[in-house]
Amino acid sequence: MGKALEGVRILDFTHVQSGPTCTQLLAWFGADVIKVERPGVGDITRGQLQDIPKVDSLYFTMLNHNKRSITIDSKNKKGMEILERLVKTCDVLVENFAPGALDRMGLTWERIQELNPRMIYASVKGFGPGPYEDCKVYENVAQCTGGSASTTGFRDGPPLVTGAQIGDSGTGLHLALGIVTALFHRTHSGKGQRVTCAMQDGVLNLARVKMRDQQRLTHGPLTEYSQYGEGIPFGDAVPRAGNDSGGGQPGRILKCKGWENDPNAYIYFITQAPVWEAICDVIGEPEWKMHPDYAKPAARLPRLNEIFARIEKWTMTKTKFEAMEMLNKYDIPCGPILSMKELAEDASLRGTGTMVEVDHPTRGKYLSVGNPIKLSASPSEVERSPLLGEHTDAVLTELGYASDEITALAQAGATATVKKVAAE
């Protein structure tokens, strides 16, 4: 079965997390992703947070599956010649260096268009045009500048960053969509184009409902926020709302049996209006179904703290899985708080390939998150990440270099000779 992006060649100049997330997705869909790395150094994450000495870190391996690695010194004249040949033969160039780095190498958009007018040139940067356009940015900076941190956490505490990497991986996802859209456009325009995604913009897009609330604030208090029921006035900006639901159906994280010793013995419980009567029966408050203070959603809004305290009295008598099972019988939307350990061991996630075990020549077996996007006609197989420069000779040969030229390039410092990988 052919892969969806088979035949698409990607010149992958990405590093760290945001760019690699994007090119990994494209590789999973079948694109030939050629990752360019600096000789002897490579993507900095190869050596970051190493759990096994001198072995590519999980940070690197989990973000660079299904890619090939070629080492090229872009600051070496012959290295740049190789890069220009790659530009001519690839469909997409993806990069997430600090602003201006690719221009300083000599690969300006104008030069790229001269070399290959069909080239799609895609970049992640921290900010779009404006006062911060030259700044370097990492994940948490994007979460803070994109509106996520100011709206995450509790009202009486400091802003919080989330565990989900919405700045890096989130922007990588946005960029991947931009690239496939540009590839589709090229099928009828015949031309490449620039695709850019700023991390601040990507986070703001994901925090869209909070911008919704910012505008609602001008027309009155946010009645679904706990703060409303507590009688605390709103200021002029959207406050942090703890675990209140961001939608029209109030929800909270509630303690379950064992919460005293297990930091994840909690469940997210949503008091969805259509199943309110079932909720009243399950928690043992059938009279609430007719009571004027509880029967209608609008009447419940100022009493959410009291209502969730009563529901929690019930959830605390059940484990999170028991509660989930009982609530599901009535279609009451809820979800247990799952730890990374529980997710790693989850049989259904293993079954769908969302959690996969991968074998690596120097690391051995490790667990990874696979492709979360499932295509029925072109499933993804997760293949291990490349060793530094593992495919240098193969890619150079494909570009037409003879073996003596390949040796000369390594001697000139344009590339690096690479140890052969032991048979796997």
Residues that bind ligand COA in the complex, under the rule CB under 6 A:
16-19, 36, 38, 72-75, 96-98, 101, 104-105, 124-126, 136-138, 168
Q: From the CB of 383, what's the least distance to ligand COA, in Å?
A: 22
Q: From the CB of 173, what's the least distance to ligand COA, in Å?
A: 13
Annotated catalytic residue 168? yes
Q: How many CB atoms lie within 10 A of CB 166?
A: 22
Instruction: Report which of 21, 328, 381 is spatially closest to residue 175, judged by C-alpha positions.
Output: 21
Instruction: Report which of 264, 280, 147 is spatially closest to residue 211, judged by C-alpha positions.
Output: 147
- Choice among 91, 168, 244, 393 that is catalytic: 168
* Closer residue to ligand COA in complex, CB, 7/128: 128
Distances from the Cα of 58 to the Cα of 50, 51, 65, 280, 363, angstroms: 7, 8, 11, 47, 9
Q: From the CB of 38, what's the least distance to ligand COA, in Å?
A: 4
Q: Which residues pair with 33 in a beta bridge?
A: 10, 67
Q: From the CB of 34, what's the least distance to ligand COA, in Å?
A: 12
> Which residues touch 200 (CB under 8 Å, ≥6 apart)?
126, 127, 128, 132, 137, 142, 145, 146
* Closer residue to ligand COA in complex, CB, 16/119: 16
Q: From the CB of 204, what's the least distance to ligand COA, in Å?
A: 15
* Closer residue to ligand COA in complex, CB, 38/300: 38
* Closer residue to ligand COA in complex, CB, 75/216: 75
Task: Take residue 147 and report the two structure tokens written for it.
Answer: 């509106």
Rounded to whole angstroms, how far apart are CA atoms 190 and 121?
Answer: 14
Please tell me whether residue 65 adopts helix, strand or coil conformation. Answer: coil
User: Which residue is nearest to ligand COA, using beta carbons?
Assistant: 98
* Closer residue to ligand COA in complex, CB, 41/52: 41
Please tell me whether residue 93 adopts helix, strand or coil conformation. Answer: strand
Active site residues: 168
